[in-house]
Structure 1
Amino acid sequence: METEEEINAKIMKITMVIQENYPELSKYLNEMPVTVPIDSNPIINARNLDKYYNSLLNLFRNYVAEHQLNYIKQTTGSGHL
Protein backbone atom coordinates (compact mmCIF):
# COMPACT_ATOMS: atom_id res chain seq x y z
CA MET A 1 0.00 0.00 0.00
CA GLU A 2 1.14 3.51 -0.72
CA THR A 3 2.13 5.90 2.02
CA GLU A 4 -0.06 8.79 3.15
CA GLU A 5 2.35 11.20 1.48
CA GLU A 6 2.11 9.40 -1.87
CA ILE A 7 -1.67 9.31 -1.75
CA ASN A 8 -1.83 12.97 -0.72
CA ALA A 9 0.33 13.82 -3.74
CA LYS A 10 -2.08 11.94 -6.03
CA ILE A 11 -5.06 13.70 -4.43
CA MET A 12 -3.39 17.06 -4.97
CA LYS A 13 -2.60 16.24 -8.60
CA ILE A 14 -6.10 15.13 -9.56
CA THR A 15 -7.64 18.06 -7.67
CA MET A 16 -5.44 20.48 -9.60
CA VAL A 17 -6.35 18.84 -12.93
CA ILE A 18 -10.03 19.18 -12.08
CA GLN A 19 -9.69 22.81 -11.03
CA GLU A 20 -7.61 23.80 -14.05
CA ASN A 21 -9.40 21.84 -16.79
CA TYR A 22 -12.92 21.28 -15.47
CA PRO A 23 -13.68 24.16 -13.09
CA GLU A 24 -17.40 23.40 -13.36
CA LEU A 25 -16.68 20.10 -11.61
CA SER A 26 -14.88 21.78 -8.70
CA LYS A 27 -18.15 22.61 -6.96
CA TYR A 28 -18.73 18.90 -6.34
CA LEU A 29 -15.44 18.36 -4.52
CA ASN A 30 -16.73 19.75 -1.22
CA GLU A 31 -20.02 17.89 -1.55
CA MET A 32 -18.50 14.43 -1.75
CA PRO A 33 -19.69 12.16 1.11
CA VAL A 34 -16.13 11.10 1.83
CA THR A 35 -15.20 14.68 2.74
CA VAL A 36 -17.97 15.03 5.32
CA PRO A 37 -16.78 13.08 8.37
CA ILE A 38 -19.34 11.59 10.72
CA ASP A 39 -16.93 11.57 13.67
CA SER A 40 -15.86 14.76 15.39
CA ASN A 41 -12.26 13.49 15.23
CA PRO A 42 -12.00 11.54 11.98
CA ILE A 43 -9.09 9.18 11.50
CA ILE A 44 -6.88 10.15 8.59
CA ASN A 45 -4.83 7.21 7.43
CA ALA A 46 -3.64 5.72 4.17
CA ARG A 47 -6.76 3.58 3.78
CA ASN A 48 -9.15 6.53 4.18
CA LEU A 49 -7.03 8.73 1.92
CA ASP A 50 -7.03 5.99 -0.71
CA LYS A 51 -10.84 5.80 -0.53
CA TYR A 52 -11.02 9.55 -1.03
CA TYR A 53 -8.59 9.43 -3.94
CA ASN A 54 -10.60 6.68 -5.62
CA SER A 55 -13.84 8.63 -5.20
CA LEU A 56 -12.18 11.67 -6.80
CA LEU A 57 -10.88 9.52 -9.63
CA ASN A 58 -14.34 8.02 -10.25
CA LEU A 59 -15.95 11.46 -10.23
CA PHE A 60 -13.35 12.72 -12.70
CA ARG A 61 -13.55 9.70 -15.03
CA ASN A 62 -17.34 9.67 -15.10
CA TYR A 63 -17.51 13.39 -15.81
CA VAL A 64 -14.92 13.23 -18.59
CA ALA A 65 -16.62 10.22 -20.19
CA GLU A 66 -20.01 11.96 -20.11
CA HIS A 67 -18.48 15.19 -21.38
CA GLN A 68 -16.90 13.37 -24.33
CA LEU A 69 -20.12 11.51 -25.13
CA ASN A 70 -22.08 14.78 -25.13
CA TYR A 71 -19.48 16.30 -27.45
CA ILE A 72 -19.80 13.36 -29.84
CA LYS A 73 -23.59 13.67 -29.79
CA GLN A 74 -23.39 17.38 -30.57
CA THR A 75 -20.91 17.01 -33.42
CA THR A 76 -22.34 13.91 -35.06
CA GLY A 77 -26.00 14.10 -34.14
CA SER A 78 -25.90 10.64 -32.60
CA GLY A 79 -24.43 8.91 -29.58
CA HIS A 80 -22.52 6.33 -31.62
CA LEU A 81 -18.76 6.38 -31.85
Structure 2
Amino acid sequence: MKNLHRILIEITELTSNIETKYPELYRSLDENPITIPTSQHPHMDKVIMEEYLESLKIVLKNYLKEEKIRLSTLKN
Protein backbone atom coordinates (compact mmCIF):
# COMPACT_ATOMS: atom_id res chain seq x y z
CA MET A 1 0.00 0.00 0.00
CA LYS A 2 1.25 3.49 -0.88
CA ASN A 3 2.11 6.05 1.73
CA LEU A 4 0.61 9.55 1.66
CA HIS A 5 3.81 11.17 0.39
CA ARG A 6 3.92 8.84 -2.63
CA ILE A 7 0.25 9.49 -3.38
CA LEU A 8 0.83 13.25 -3.32
CA ILE A 9 3.77 12.87 -5.68
CA GLU A 10 1.62 10.85 -8.09
CA ILE A 11 -1.15 13.46 -7.94
CA THR A 12 1.36 16.20 -8.69
CA GLU A 13 2.90 14.27 -11.59
CA LEU A 14 -0.46 13.36 -13.09
CA THR A 15 -1.80 16.88 -12.74
CA SER A 16 1.33 18.29 -14.33
CA ASN A 17 1.04 15.79 -17.17
CA ILE A 18 -2.59 16.77 -17.76
CA GLU A 19 -1.70 20.47 -17.64
CA THR A 20 1.10 20.02 -20.19
CA LYS A 21 -0.43 17.53 -22.62
CA TYR A 22 -4.15 18.24 -22.25
CA PRO A 23 -4.60 21.91 -21.26
CA GLU A 24 -8.25 21.86 -22.32
CA LEU A 25 -8.87 19.09 -19.79
CA TYR A 26 -6.76 20.76 -17.13
CA ARG A 27 -8.91 23.90 -17.30
CA SER A 28 -11.98 21.84 -16.53
CA LEU A 29 -10.53 20.04 -13.51
CA ASP A 30 -11.51 22.89 -11.20
CA GLU A 31 -15.11 22.54 -12.33
CA ASN A 32 -15.26 18.78 -12.11
CA PRO A 33 -17.54 17.67 -9.25
CA ILE A 34 -15.30 14.68 -8.59
CA THR A 35 -12.41 16.96 -7.70
CA ILE A 36 -14.28 19.53 -5.60
CA PRO A 37 -14.53 18.80 -1.87
CA THR A 38 -18.05 19.00 -0.50
CA SER A 39 -17.05 20.63 2.79
CA GLN A 40 -15.36 23.95 3.34
CA HIS A 41 -12.47 22.47 5.38
CA PRO A 42 -12.19 18.86 4.21
CA HIS A 43 -10.14 16.35 6.16
CA MET A 44 -7.40 15.15 3.81
CA ASP A 45 -6.13 11.74 4.72
CA LYS A 46 -4.53 8.92 2.80
CA VAL A 47 -7.81 7.34 1.73
CA ILE A 48 -9.23 10.61 0.45
CA MET A 49 -6.07 11.40 -1.47
CA GLU A 50 -6.03 7.91 -3.01
CA GLU A 51 -9.62 8.44 -4.09
CA TYR A 52 -8.70 11.80 -5.57
CA LEU A 53 -5.78 10.25 -7.46
CA GLU A 54 -8.05 7.54 -8.84
CA SER A 55 -10.64 10.13 -9.85
CA LEU A 56 -7.97 12.05 -11.79
CA LYS A 57 -6.97 8.85 -13.56
CA ILE A 58 -10.60 8.14 -14.46
CA VAL A 59 -11.14 11.68 -15.74
CA LEU A 60 -8.05 11.40 -17.94
CA LYS A 61 -8.98 7.95 -19.18
CA ASN A 62 -12.50 9.09 -20.10
CA TYR A 63 -11.17 12.21 -21.78
CA LEU A 64 -8.74 10.18 -23.90
CA LYS A 65 -11.51 7.78 -24.84
CA GLU A 66 -13.83 10.62 -25.88
CA GLU A 67 -11.03 12.36 -27.75
CA LYS A 68 -10.25 9.18 -29.67
CA ILE A 69 -13.91 8.88 -30.67
CA ARG A 70 -14.04 12.55 -31.67
CA LEU A 71 -10.91 12.24 -33.82
CA SER A 72 -12.15 9.10 -35.53
CA THR A 73 -15.42 10.88 -36.32
CA LEU A 74 -13.55 13.81 -37.86
CA LYS A 75 -11.57 11.47 -40.12
CA ASN A 76 -14.74 9.96 -41.57
Q: Structure 1 unaligned runs (5+)?
A: none
Structure 1 vs Structure 2: percent identity of aligned residues? Answer: 28
Equivalent-residue separation in structure 2 for 1:32 and 1:71 (angstroms): 23
Equivalent residues, number: 76
Instruction: Kindly report structure 1 stretches of 4+ aligned residues shifted beyond 6 Å.
Output: none
User: Which structure 2 residues correspond to residues 1-81 of structure 1 after superposition, within 5 A?
Assistant: 1-75=1-75, 77=76
1:21–1:39 Cα change, 3 Å: same
1:40–1:69 Cα change, 3 Å: closer
Q: Please identify the structure whose Cα radius of gyration is greater.
A: 1
Q: TM-score, structure 1 length as denominator?
A: 0.81
Q: TM-score, structure 2 length as denominator?
A: 0.86
Equivalent-residue separation in structure 2 for 1:37 and 1:69 (angstroms): 30
RMSD over aligned Cα, in angstroms? 1.5
- AA partner of residue 54 (structure 2): N
- State the structure with bigger RCO (CA 8 A, min sep 6), 1 or 2: 2
Equivalent-residue separation in structure 1 for 2:18 and 2:40 (angstroms): 28
